[in-house]
Structure 1
């Protein structure tokens, strides 16, 4: 099933992102727990620093073929040759994976981009996939700007190029201020972008992790979130409770404003996701 079709329902699509865990026992436990929430799909990213690339197809196949959940495989292009991309795509097809999240990916510090690296931007990869395959293609959106480009109008222009190249749906970078997303949504409508969007949510239950992500992505941390992370920095249970409460509030407001999808960056912590979903009603 194409993920774009899940957004046709008159309800908010629920989805999750996981990364390759250490072993399959942990993997099966994570997927089994997330499956209880009847997700529209589960996406599979790489491990830290782009590691575990080879396991992405394997895990997507388990999600799709063992658990009958739609799987979304991440595919980055900036460090890959045309042949490498085609090999991965063929492997995905062999495993009945019909959905790809097409991303540029980060450029490693010691990596040199050569002539053999044809796809310099996500739009290039999307264009190739749209022409050469019948896959459903997702793309990333940045409500608060990309770390390499904070000009929001330019970000929307680049997003329009990805949509025009063939992106079927969008997933946003995580954010903590809903107003920033609402303003972003107004901007993209002006560019006639009406592609379904799943909003990216990560509960602020780990101060060190959130600060690391802020440094890498430039995500804006509102004072309210900054305050409770500082207050409970050394009180794990209290920070967890505050982070779950804030994420629950954030999602409830987004659902009231008719977002098409909510996409949890789970960090492989299904227990935290359960605590949030126990607080809200998906409709």
Structure 2
């Protein structure tokens, strides 16, 4: 494989030690020359400043970076302020999401859906930003139906999204079926496959339960059979996920977006496996 169009996601560190560790991981991952790094935005914007600080630091290192921006619990004025901050730092790409309410938080805010956030961003900033949105090949866990979820995605595209990143998944057929459905609706924006490396069985089960990502039964049973054998879990996970990536790329996926969990080893191993193929 001559070239691999990919991006890498971080979450903003919460402590100085976490920030130092992320800098070390980021330096290693930057050697892979991703298209850009993205930085997540906590529930209700709880990591707003950390997101911006991390993105600005990445830009200062000479790499493109995209902050996530969620609208749930936010006012139009607060979003307007954040967009102006992004523009003042020369940020040209962002990931626009509805987001999750933090626990104990009451109101949904003035913008209820990602499509409304995108419309607002376009009204405020025109074509300044390349806007990425989320896609759910296995259906958003809160969607009323697969059809309703697909229509929600279509609304985000109609509102002005440039491209999309999927929730992670381990079933390539779900991605291809989703792409077929979007094409039937006339949607033609690039939909990049979100990829979660497998390094820790317990952590993976917890994340997947929260976000609705299905772990195939045979993969789940195999991972469980390794118990505390971390090396075997990582080796098996590398095989499973690299084969998934190869199938996605061979089937026409325009790129891959790696959920790094602020670690360099697993994403680097996947990248090396894929580029050696």
TM-score class normalised by the smaller sequence? over 0.9
8 Å contact kept, 1:202–1:265: yes
2:251 is aligned to 257
Residues 199-218 of structure 1: pairs in structure 2 closer than 5 A: 199-218=193-212
Q: Deviations over 1:16-52 (max 9, x none)?
A: 0011223332222122111111100110013589642
1:97 and 2:96 matched? no
* Correspondence 1:31 to 2:23: no
Give the structure 2 partner of residue 46 of structure 1: 41
Of 39, 56, 59, 1:61 maps to: 56
Q: Are 2:196 and 1:196 aligned? A: no
Q: TM-score scaled to structure 2, two decimals? A: 0.92
Q: In 2, Cα distance between the equivalents of 1:127 and 1:111? A: 25
Contact 1:12 1:258 in 2 (8 A): no
Range moving further from structure 2, 36-45 or 19-28: 19-28
Shift of 1:151: 2.1
CA distance in 2, matches of 1:159, 1:281: 31
* Residue-by-residue CA offset, 1:145-170 (whole Å, 9 max, x unaligned): 00101622211111000000000110
Could you say which residue in structure 1 is the equivalent of 2:263? Answer: 269
Indicate if the aligned counterparts of 1:12 and 1:282 stay in contact, CA closer than 8 A.
Answer: no
1:121 aligned to 2:113? yes
Give the Cα–Cα distance (whole angstroms) in 1 for the partners of residues 85 and 44 of structure 2: 22
Aligned residue for 2:273, secondary structure, equals: coil
What's the CA shift string for 1:216-239, capped at 9, x where partnerless?
111111122212211113111110
Q: Separation in 1 of the partners of 2:76 and 2:91? A: 19
Contact 1:61 1:96 in 2 (8 A): no
8 A contact 2:44–2:72 mirrored in 1: no
Cα 1:268–1:252, aligned 2, differ >3 Å: closer, same or farther? same
Aligned length: 271
Structure 2: gaps spanning 5 or more residues: none
Q: Cα–Cα, structure 1 residues 203 and 194, in superposed 2: closer, same or farther, change >3 Å? A: same
Q: SS of the counterpart of 1:269? A: coil
